Amino acid sequence: MSKLLIIDDDPDVLMAARLLLKRHFGHVDIEKNPERIPFLINNGQYDVILLDMNFERDVSSGREGFLWLDRILDIDPMATVILITAYGDVEMAVRAIKLGATDFVLKPWENTKLLATIESALAKSAKAAEATGRPKAGGDTAKKGAVKSASPAGTVLIGSSPSMRQVFATIDQVAGTDANVLILGENGTGKDVIAREIHRRSHRSDKPFVSVDIGALSESLFESELFGHVKGAFTDARDDRAGRFEEAHTGTIFLDEIGNISLPQQARLLTILQQRNVTRVGSNKPKAVDVRLICATNADVYGRVADRSFRQDLLYRINTIELRLPPLRERVEDIVPLAEHFMKQYRQQYNRRIMGLSPALVRQMQQYAWPGNVRELQHAVERAVILAQGTELEPANFSLVQSPLQPTTSAAESLHIEDMEKQMIQHAMQKYQGNITDVSRELGLSRQALYRRLEKYGL
Ligand SMILES: Nc1ncnc2c1ncn2[C@@H]1O[C@H](COP(=O)(O)OP(=O)(O)OP(=O)(O)O)[C@@H](O)[C@H]1O
């Protein structure tokens, strides 16, 4: 018996979810008003919380959803939160996972997929509770916050496609140097693991690897987070504190999502990179820092240079070596080896007797567009391992039809999806007054993909 809480401002969604989930999990509370979240969480021990990201006031940005996710994790850092997001929001959902959500489901959901996602979240939280000796579910204890550390052992990197071999060959060449590296690629293509691998193979490997989601830092936090502050520099500065650059001294600093920072932030960063020293906020004593710089972004950074939202001089400083990680759909040869790798990992973790992938599943996986790339594949395999009844993973253990790029959806379904897509694009175009860069970022599309859709829908 588990206890679930669902927060969504659509009463129909709440009723449907409760009907379905009560049968499987026992206790299900529903809530339409997110303002009641703190009260509910303080008063009930929920194993899983399902949170809608698209509240009415703020349908497409998910901003309100992010705030509520943050509130939940402030109250209970071990909470297991699954996000419910509208179609097309994969990028936003991935970002939320980085901020501490456990998983996400796309709306409208398929019942089997929703059940599998919850099962998988429950299994994870039970395992974490066991590991930490805590009475309640939860994921990684340090999951909230922007800094992660390199795993000493490193991840096994899979990739036999020509494009990934090229990436590995470049890593061989540059890991041992101090050259700045810029890693480009869509969400979930492996930018983070590649950055850690470069550090692991460098002469700095026994020194710190400091990872900062720089694109998520607010204007007010940017300087103190990166450069540190002295006591009294601002209201909350109760002690002296080193910034991330100082923490990374003699090691590597990994600045993720660098394509998202504002022009003033770019100017500050450029100065630090040129001078190689940092001054804590409120101090006037610069400190020299010796760091190897690795940056990553999923943004079209060259497009941003062209429309002047990203400084060319900053780009030239960070891209001494450039690594492009192709989306998974462009390296189909890697899909099955990756899926088998994750299958082995999860069958051991969940103690399941699964021997392989069925031929029908292999075909389906190779045709599917994987908008969330390797991360989506990994999550899909994890769920499938939990769900599988037999000794082979089958298409039924996956639901690979929800992708916006999947060509095999039925005619009725694709009409519905197209309507939703058109509405989302219209909404975003209004919100950003037609700014293609902002709209494509919000929708998680490349600029080219957005242009194609604008043409298709006559917008
Ligand atoms: N070549 C690979 N071999 C094995 N695992 C991989 C590979 N590439 C990615 N992964 C796994 O896929 C998941 C997503 O990778 P990662 O976090 O590095 O992506 P990312 O590009 O940094 O994503 P984001 O843009 O969202 O930050 C991780 O669990 C990672 O271990």
Ligand 1 pocket check for 161: Cβ under 6 Å: no
Of 19-23, 60-64, 450-454, which has the strongest mean pLDDT?
19-23
Predicted local confidence at residue 143, as pLDDT: 35
- The Cα–Cα gap between 259 and 394 comes to 39
Query: Could you tell me if 359 and 329 are in contact, meaning their C-beta atoms sit under 8 angstroms apart?
Result: no
Residue 107's DSSP bridge partners are: 86
CA angle 370, 374, 379 (to 5 degrees): 90
Counting ligand 1 atoms within 8 A of each CB, the residue from 140, 192, 255 with the most, and so the one to mutate, is: 192
Query: Could you tell me if 192 and 184 are in contact, meaning their C-beta atoms sit under 8 angstroms apart?
Result: no
Distance 176 CA to ligand 1 centre (A): 22
Query: Could you tell me if 91 and 428 are in contact, meaning their C-beta atoms sit under 8 angstroms apart?
Result: no
Query: Could you tell me if 208 and 247 are in contact, meaning their C-beta atoms sit under 8 angstroms apart?
Result: yes
Predicted local confidence at residue 168, as pLDDT: 93
Ligand 1 pocket check for 155: Cβ under 6 Å: yes
Query: Is the model's pLDDT at 129 over the cut of 80?
Result: no
Ligand 1 pocket check for 265: Cβ under 6 Å: no
Question: What is the side-by-side strand order in the sheet with 209-213?
Answer: 209-213, 252-256, 292-297, 181-185, 321-325
Ligand 1 pocket check for 260: Cβ under 6 Å: no
User: Domains of the chain (ranges plus CATH)?
Assistant: 2-132 (3.40.50.2300), 162-325 (3.40.50.300), 328-397 (1.10.8.60), 411-456 (1.10.10)
Ligand 1 pocket check for 94: Cβ under 6 Å: yes
Predicted local confidence at residue 185, as pLDDT: 95
Predicted local confidence at residue 91, as pLDDT: 67
Query: Is the model's pLDDT at 205 over the cut of 90?
Result: yes
Asked, as a colleague might, if the bond just before 108 is cis with ω within 30 of 0, I would say yes
**CA torsion, ordered 37, 39, 45, 48, to nearest 10 deg:** 0
Residue 2's DSSP bridge partners are: 26
Query: Could you tell me if 212 and 244 are in contact, meaning their C-beta atoms sit under 8 angstroms apart?
Result: yes
Atom of ligand 1 nearest to the CA of 377: 12
Query: Could you tell me if 61 and 68 are in contact, meaning their C-beta atoms sit under 8 angstroms apart?
Result: no
Query: Could you tell me if 89 and 63 are in contact, meaning their C-beta atoms sit under 8 angstroms apart?
Result: no
Query: Is the model's pLDDT at 415 over the cut of 70?
Result: no
The token pair at 246 is 């100082």
DSSP calls for 11-51: HHHHHHHHHHHHHHHEEEEEES-GGGHHHHHHH---SEEEE
Closest protein CA for atom 13 of ligand 1: 375
Q: Rounded to whole angstroms, what are the CA distances from 135 to 132, 352, 406?
A: 9, 25, 42
Give 44 or 324, the one with higher predicted confidence: 324
- The Cα–Cα gap between 114 and 107 comes to 10
Query: Could you tell me if 252 and 204 are in contact, meaning their C-beta atoms sit under 8 angstroms apart?
Result: yes
Ligand 1 pocket check for 399: Cβ under 6 Å: no
How sure is the predictor about 133, in pLDDT bands with cuts at 50, 70 and 90?
A: low
Ligand 1 pocket check for 258: Cβ under 6 Å: no
- The Cα–Cα gap between 390 and 148 comes to 37
Helix (H) or strand (E) holding 252: strand 252-256
* The model's pTM: 0.62
Question: What value does the mean pLDDT of the chain take?
Answer: 84
Ligand 1 pocket check for 379: Cβ under 6 Å: no
How sure is the predictor about 271, in pLDDT bands with cuts at 50, 70 and 90?
A: very high
